[in-house]
Structure 1
Amino acid sequence: MNLDKRSFTKCIFAAISFPILSMRTFAQEVFKHRFPIHLIVPYPPGGAGDIIARLFSPSLGEALKQPIIIDNKSGGAQMIATDAAAKAKPDGYTLFFASTTHGINPGFKRPLPYDTIKDFAPITLVGSTPLIWVAHPSLKVKTIQELVAKANTMPIYYGSAGPGSGGHLAVELFKFMAGIDLIHTPYKGTGPALNDLLSGQIQLLCTSPIPVLPFVKSGKLQALAMTSPKRSAIAPDLPTIAESGYPDYQASLWYALMVQAKVPLAIQQVILEGATKALQQPETIKTFKEQGIDILNLSPSATDQFIRAEIDRWTKTIAYAKIQID
């Protein structure tokens, strides 16, 4: 049979496309007949990561046409949740809401029960948010400069979502740069740390603005500074630490949707399409903007490159600042 160039190209494309379309149809059929999907979140309820996951999951579930259950697994510097996600059945019905700590943990050179890169397939980098430093009013400081001066006269206790969390590393890096000491009190998530800050059990917290800004507005907490390079739209009157005398300082929290590495590529593609659709919904965009979350929605390959770069950056930072796990 003689084929012209155009006909030959169509035949080749059809031959290549058929198995891909079949795999995608298969994945869609799997999601059509099985439920629910579990989204493992390495935080207890009430923390920033948990709040963002709960903001994102309804639109994701709608896009995938599946109910999504938030599965909070806190503790162990997020290793408990990460290990559970790494060992999940590779059928796409377990998703993992990874965060900054996923890129930090390898830098401490301690044994991990999973491989940070090989055991996971990135779907998308959902978004990022700066951190905010807040203090209990009893500390009587209103700026970063006043905090540094106070730290030279008395012990100050700060909380974090756990050893190796983004908030922990952000404070430890600042301690190194400012030449001060702040005493770390680790928790199993931002929620418990925030509760103790509000009660005055600890005096300082560096975390996402999402759970703490309502308390700042009510006067129950004092905001000191943001960690972003530029002022945040969510708190435009609040200076950055870079503006407060430390121009090289910046930190942020990021959140990525991932699955177990052996999940079939066709199912990964369906999840990616669902996540992209969810993040493009006007209501999602509006809600995330109100919470100070920048939507990123990177491709799987770009997300993988980002996480590898984060591992390299934090590994060097941990060694440079001699940051220790409590």
Structure 2
Amino acid sequence: MNTRLLRRPLLGAIATLSLGLGLALPATAQSPYPSKPVRLVVNFPAGGPADLLARTIGEYLQRSLNQPFVVENKAGAGGNVGATDVARSPADGYTLMVGIDTAFTVNPHIYDNMAFKPGDLKPVMIMASSGLLLGVSQASGIKRFGDLLSEGRKRSLNFSSGGNGSPGHLAVAMLSNSTPIKTTHIPYRGNTPAVTAVLAGEVDGGILATPGMLPHVQAGKITALAVTSSKRSQLAPQLPTVAELGLKSLETEVLYVVMAPAATPDAVMDVLQKNITSALQQPEAKERLKSLDMFYEGITGEAAARRLATMSTRYGEIVRNIGMKAQ
């Protein structure tokens, strides 16, 4: 008897039975997401607000999803370096960007050539928002906002920022456009060295993330003049908003976002959105947001995309009116 002839019908019957019972054969089996480590690419240096927030949610995601969430800092070109890395990665949920909105809302208007298009990435979530703090060095001799206006009419004031296209860069350009003062933008590689420059008197001031400035304000080493948010800072409620100083056009906010390659499957996006929402509701995350002077947003899907598009339109108009370009 030919055993090969008997084996073929038997194998066929097993396959048919498996399909009929809904059993997955090894060739089509898929592991649930995530089944391996996930990279969280922060497109600014370590120690800044985006980095601290990434590490906070990464710790929770690692516990809730039972896989490592590894934070990697890839700074440069106003956040474009890190965003490009993620845009060129497979759309499988294993490489995500955690950063701020400016790579998508400002950079397309000030960089002539970018290695990625904003449409190459889509928002997983807008996690939080924050304003900035306008502060000046002790060496500048400026004590009040009126002094800033007076000194800025006499000479060009040097302002640091976290890099070309960063919120501080845009805010300095808006300050110069909204008042008669003259400014010179001095870009640094991230918020932390930009704050250090103000502290050391290398520059006259900066319009930078509040948490990085405030310890030095409280120590009397940096003079705080105002915040750029529409409401007062949670950490320094005594400071006026720019609108209260008559400069509502200077109002600006920073959005802290998680972005994924545009073709990332909806099922993966759902897992991420659910778990990041849960992460941000944890007591330690709420405390982190407050310590960074951030307000919870939790916006996903089309609503998040519309928010970014609206900001891009506004900033595009400002950039064109000012003639701002990456230096």
TM class by shorter chain equals 0.7 to 0.9
Matched with 1:321 is: 322
Query: What's the CA shift for 1:109?
Result: 6.0
Q: Which has the higher contact order (CA 8 A, sep 6+)?
A: 1
Instruction: Answer whether contact 2:155 2:182 (CA < 8 A) is retained.
Output: no
Query: What's the CA shift for 1:204?
Result: 0.7
Map Cα deviations across residues 265-308 of structure 1 (whole Å, 9 max, x no partner).
21111111111111122221232123211010112211111111
In structure 2, the CA distance between the partners of 1:150 and 1:259, relative to structure 1 (3 Å rule), is same
How many residues are aligned here? Answer: 299
Matched with 1:49 is: 50
Quick one: distance in 2 between partners of 1:142 and 1:225? Answer: 12
Q: What SS class does the counterpart of residue 259 from structure 1 fall into?
A: strand
Map Cα deviations across residues 162-213 of structure 1 (whole Å, 9 max, x no partner).
1111110011011101022111111121122222222221121111111121
Q: Which of 108, 111, 133 is 2:110 aligned to?
A: 108
Q: Give the aligned residue type for 2:138.
A: P
Quick one: distance in 2 between partners of 1:59 and 1:172? Answer: 38
Quick one: distance in 2 between partners of 1:272 and 1:230? Answer: 27
Quick one: distance in 1 between partners of 2:311 and 2:106? Answer: 7
Matched with 1:132 is: 133
Q: Give the aligned residue type for 2:213.
A: V
Matched with 2:59 is: 58
Q: What SS class does the counterpart of residue 250 from structure 2 fall into?
A: coil
Q: Give the aligned residue type for 1:225.
A: A
Instruction: Answer whether contact 1:46 1:211 (CA < 8 A) is retained.
Output: no
Matched with 1:220 is: 221
Quick one: distance in 2 between partners of 1:287 and 1:78? Answer: 23
In structure 2, the CA distance between the partners of 1:249 and 1:193, relative to structure 1 (3 Å rule), is closer
Matched with 2:10 is: none
Q: Give the aligned residue type for 1:30.
A: Y
Query: What's the CA shift for 1:89?
Result: 2.0
Once the two structures are superposed, the pairs formed by residues 188-203 of structure 1 within 5 Å of their partners are 188-203=189-204
Once the two structures are superposed, the pairs formed by residues 1-326 of structure 1 within 5 Å of their partners are 29-31=32-34, 33-35=35-37, 37-102=38-103, 103-108=105-110, 110-117=112-119, 119-326=120-327
Q: Percent identity?
A: 28
Quick one: distance in 1 between partners of 2:222 and 2:30? Answer: 52
Q: What SS class does the counterpart of residue 99 from structure 2 fall into?
A: strand
Instruction: Answer whether contact 2:135 2:225 (CA < 8 A) is retained.
Output: yes
Quick one: distance in 1 between partners of 2:78 and 2:288? Answer: 28
Map Cα deviations across residues 48-94 of structure 1 (whole Å, 9 max, x no partner).
22223223322233333322221111111211111101001222111
Instruction: Answer whether contact 2:51 2:99 (CA < 8 A) is retained.
Output: no
**Which moved further from structure 2: 254-263 or 57-66?**
57-66
Q: What SS class does the counterpart of residue 111 from structure 1 fall into?
A: coil
Q: Give the aligned residue type for 1:116.
A: P
Matched with 2:25 is: none
Q: What SS class does the counterpart of residue 168 from structure 1 fall into?
A: helix
Q: What SS class does the counterpart of residue 129 from structure 2 fall into?
A: strand
Q: What SS class does the counterpart of residue 126 from structure 1 fall into?
A: strand
Instruction: Answer whether contact 2:91 2:264 (CA < 8 A) is retained.
Output: yes
Instruction: Answer whether contact 1:59 1:278 (CA < 8 A) is retained.
Output: yes
Q: What SS class does the counterpart of residue 182 from structure 1 fall into?
A: strand
Query: What's the CA shift for 1:252?
Result: 1.1
**Which moved further from structure 2: 131-140 or 43-52?**
43-52
CA RMSD of aligned residues (A): 1.9
Q: What SS class does the counterpart of residue 249 from structure 2 fall into?
A: coil
Q: What SS class does the counterpart of residue 127 from structure 1 fall into?
A: strand
Q: What SS class does the counterpart of residue 106 from structure 2 fall into?
A: helix
Matched with 1:9 is: none
Quick one: distance in 1 between partners of 2:114 and 2:227? Answer: 32
**Which moved further from structure 2: 63-72 or 171-180?**
63-72
Query: What's the CA shift for 1:241?
Result: 1.6
Q: What SS class does the counterpart of residue 55 from structure 2 fall into?
A: helix
Q: Give the aligned residue type for 2:73.
A: N
Where structure 1 has 5 or more consecutive residues not aligned to the other structure, the ranges are 1-17, 19-24
Quick one: distance in 1 between partners of 2:101 and 2:33? Answer: 31
Q: Give the aligned residue type for 1:163.
A: N
Instruction: Answer whether contact 1:194 1:205 (CA < 8 A) is retained.
Output: yes
Quick one: distance in 2 between partners of 1:194 and 1:293? Answer: 18
